[in-house]
Amino acid sequence: MGTPVPSASPAPVIDAIAWVHVRDGRLLCARTHGRELFYLPGGKPEPGESPEAAVTREVEEEVSVALRPGTIRPFTVVDELADGYPEGTRVRLSCYVAEHDGDPVPTNEIAELAWLDSAGRSRCAPAVRRVIDELADRGLVG
C-alpha cells in the first residue's frame, strides 16, 4: 500500500463588502497606508451585522460618505485571490451600489483616493480588477 495522500483543506475565504461608486466613467478606489494596490471602500462585516449596515459603516469610516438607507442595492459578488494574505487565501467581495450624501474624502486609515477606469486596473487588487472589468462590460467605465 502506498502512503495516504492527505486531503487538501479548502483555501481560507475572507468575506468582505464594498461600495461601487462610479462618476464620469471612473470607479472610486482607496489605498490604505502600507499597501501599494487600490481597493474599493469597504471591509469586513462585524458579527451579526447586515451587509447594508456593514457597507454603510465601512464607507463612512473610510471616505466620510453617508450612504442613503433604502438605496443600497447588490451589484455583484467577486471571488478572487486576496491581496496581502497568505497564498491561496480568497476574498468573496459582495459589492453594493447606493446613493450617498457628501463628497468622498480619505480618512486617517486611507492614504489616497483615486478615480480609476480600465486603464488603471493594474493599480488595483485582483478583486477590484474584476469589478472594473464588469463595469467596463456594462459600459459604466472607460
The whole-angstrom separation of Cα 42 and Cα 17 is: 5
For cell 494596490, the residue is 37
28-65: per-residue pLDDT in tens?
Answer: 999 999 999 999 999 999 999 999 999 999 999 999 99
| CATH architecture entry for 13-137 | Alpha-Beta Complex (3.90)
Q: What is the mean pLDDT of residues 74-101?
A: 94
Query: What does the pLDDT read at residue 2?
Result: 55
Query: What does the pLDDT read at residue 113?
Result: 97
Closest CA to 123 of 33, 36, 62: 36
Record the pTM. 0.90
48: left (phi > 0), else alpha (psi -120 to 50), else beta?
Answer: left
Q: Residue 89 pLDDT more than 70?
A: yes
Q: Where are the domains of the chain?
A: 13-137
Residue 72 grid coordinates: 443600497
Query: What does the pLDDT read at residue 10?
Result: 72
Residue 32 grid coordinates: 490604505
100-111: per-residue pLDDT in tens?
Answer: 999 999 998 899
- Average pLDDT for the chain: 93
